[in-house]
Amino acid sequence: MITAIVFVKADVARIPEVAEAIAALDGVSEVYSVTGQIDLIALVRVKAHEDVATVVADKLNKVPGVNATETHIAFRTYSRHDLETAFSLGLD
Give 57-69 pLDDT, tens digit per residue.
999 999 999 999 9
Q: How much is the pLDDT for 76?
A: 87
pLDDT range class, residue 85, cuts 50, 70, 90: low
- The dihedral built from the CA positions of residue 36, 37, 39 and 45, taken in this order, carries a sign that is negative
The rounded Cα 78 to chain-centroid distance in angstroms is 17
Q: How much is the pLDDT for 86?
A: 56
